[in-house]
Structure 1
Amino acid sequence: MTPRTAPEPLAPGTVLWDVAGDVRLLLSLPAATVLQVAHPAVGAGVDDHSVFRTDPWGRAARSLESLQLWVYGGDRAIEEGRRLRTLHRHISGTDRHGRPYSALTPAHYAWVHATAYPVFLRAARYLDRPFTPEDERRLYGELLHLGRVLGIEDRDMPPTPEAYWRYFDTTVAQELERTVVAGELLDPHRPLPPPPGPLPRRLWPLLCPLFTRLQVFLTAGLLPPAVRDRLGVTWTPRQERRLRRLGAVVRTVVPPLPERLRYLPVARAARAAARRADSGTRR
């Protein structure tokens, strides 16, 4: 992709600009990750090449910053999309079924991006407010645009929400499985190194079981039901009631927060810069 044909970065007024930097994103990202690695090729790539076991906090921080740049980075979003493709160029191997994989195989790369749509919708349903049909369509169009920023060709993504759900249902039924990595991320007893800092290290033996149980609970709850069934994840009516109660608390607490607490740093800086530019334009 040359600079002449590079897509415009996302801007204020888009749905993604409003939701992708909200701190509630941190609650839904694990579900998107499980959806991604439940694909055998993606799961094998992460299993073979990622440092998610030895440096989970560093990897999470780097992935989150990258994601924020896609939406809020302006021209840096295009650069970040190129950097990611370069980074993934040499990620290849063989999955546990003996099939070769490559991270940049269009179908595999597109699936990783495509998982954002159902997770955004489910997170909004529980943690914010459900999207209107019009906003669902806008969100999908913006995700297609974001895919172009990341170097994903239009032909590799379903063109409409209706086509997306046919593609999603087929992928879930025919391709997804409880890969090694998906199984680990759904295990509330998995070992997890402490986050950086002396205080978290001292408290981690107490906090780790609480953290992993909450993370797995939210991950399971925000997965589409068909995916839970496919991966053998149990979800009871009692758990559903607990998730709805937790969501009600989150919906009450987060919206009134000041911007410095409600939005992640990259999003916060971009939103402030956009307000300054808009103010300058009106003067």
Structure 2
Amino acid sequence: MLWHLAGEVRAVLALPAALAMQVAHPAVGAGVDDHSVFRTDPWGRAIRSVASTQLWVYGGEAALEEGRRLRRLHRHINGTDAHGRPYRALDPATYAWVHATGFPGYRYAQCVMGTRPFTEAEERQLYAEWLCVGRVLGIDDRDMPQTVEEFWPYYRGVLRDEIEATVVVRELVSTDVDVPPPPGRAAWMRMLRLVWPALVPPLLRARRFLTIGLMPPDAREAIGLEWTVRQERALRRFGRIVRVVVPLLPERLRYLPYARRARRAHHVSPGSSLRSRSRR
């Protein structure tokens, strides 16, 4: 299932919501606030993050090295959160939460932008595959619920007891922050930089809409993010457009390059269904 989902453009649209859920944990938010370059190099940071997530699913042996690299990278990330509590990026519970957000994120994105919600069997398979990805990242089975039935009480407990509107969450949904233009030397990039000040406000509004809208409603409520009935109607319209348009796209537009190369190498058809894939 992840070979169908993780490299598709719909997964990219859902990434900001998953990231906001991650940094809503005070320890994760503090680590990103203190150590990430997302403010000074947002484009580079985004590109590296997407490339890393693609390796987890499509990288084969390279996925294992990427998991080791990420653990080395996070080994020395520690500090004190906004409540004065010490944090450590590789604390098992914290590291597991970052990974755990992917499952409800995929599930809700499918409800909004997919042809239909996942069946119960598909949810079980997706969760099992997500656990496998967690093992690639070095997450011990003891630190993640091992079944869907165990996952939801764990997830609701974190929402109830731990997550909040951290500084980083507020920045991710803000429409009043400075965003540098994308780097590049091509002629069209120079033109883009000329009009960039006019493009930033609508881009930030779109980011806020997708970040909050594609977040599972229970997480959105737990963090305290405002979402109106009018916005929900707009999200449903957006979802209907996406679920019609994306399946019609050629593979070079529907899937990210790494996913496209891996799928071609293994002869995965873009038209095959989730259900048929789940039987293989």
Aligned partner of 2:45 in structure 1 is 59
Report the Cα distance in structure 2 between the residues aligned to 1:200 and 1:131, rounded to whole angstroms: 40
Aligned partner of 1:183 in structure 2 is 170
Contact 2:35 2:77 in 1 (8 A): yes
Q: CA deviation digits over 1:148-206, x for unaligned, max 9?
A: 01100000001111111100100001000111101110112222111123232122112
Residue identity matched to 2:54: Q
Q: CA deviation digits over 1:212-256, x for unaligned, max 9?
A: 101111111111222222222111111111001011111111101
Aligned partner of 1:213 in structure 2 is 205
Q: Quick check: 1:33 aligned with 2:19?
A: yes
Aligned partner of 1:244 in structure 2 is 236
Aligned partner of 2:154 in structure 1 is 167
Aligned partner of 1:70 in structure 2 is 56
Query: 1:275 aligns to what SS in structure 2?
Result: coil
Q: Quick check: 1:81 aligned with 2:57?
A: no
Equivalent residue runs for 1:45-194 within 5 Å:
45-129=31-115, 130-194=117-181
TM-score (normalizing by structure 1): 0.91
Contact 2:30 2:80 in 1 (8 A): yes
Residue identity matched to 1:168: Y
Overall identity of the aligned pairs, in %: 61
TM-score (normalizing by structure 2): 0.91
Residue identity matched to 2:110: A
Residue identity matched to 2:239: G
Contact 2:38 2:45 in 1 (8 A): yes
Unaligned runs of 5+ in 1: 1-14, 277-283
Q: CA deviation digits over 1:26-71, x for unaligned, max 9?
A: 2100000000000000000000000000000000000000000000
Aligned partner of 2:196 in structure 1 is 204
Query: 1:53 aligns to what SS in structure 2?
Result: coil
Contact 2:25 2:163 in 1 (8 A): yes
Report the Cα distance in structure 1 between the residues aligned to 2:218 and 2:138, rounded to whole angstroms: 29
Structure 1 stretches of 4+ with a deviation exceeding 4 A read none
Paired positions, count: 262
Report the Cα distance in structure 1 between the residues aligned to 2:38 and 2:163, rounded to whole angstroms: 20
Report the Cα distance in structure 2 between the residues aligned to 1:81 and 1:231, rounded to whole angstroms: 29
TM-fit CA distance, 1:207: 1.3
Report the Cα distance in structure 1 between the residues aligned to 2:196 and 2:111, rounded to whole angstroms: 32
Q: Quick check: 1:261 aligned with 2:253?
A: yes
Cα-Cα RMSD: 1.1
Aligned partner of 1:225 in structure 2 is 217
Residue identity matched to 1:216: R
Unaligned runs of 5+ in 2: 184-188, 269-280
Contact 2:164 2:224 in 1 (8 A): no
Contact 2:71 2:90 in 1 (8 A): yes
Query: 2:79 aligns to what SS in structure 1?
Result: strand
Q: CA deviation digits over 1:2-34, x for unaligned, max 9?
A: xxxxxxxxxxxxx10100000111210000000
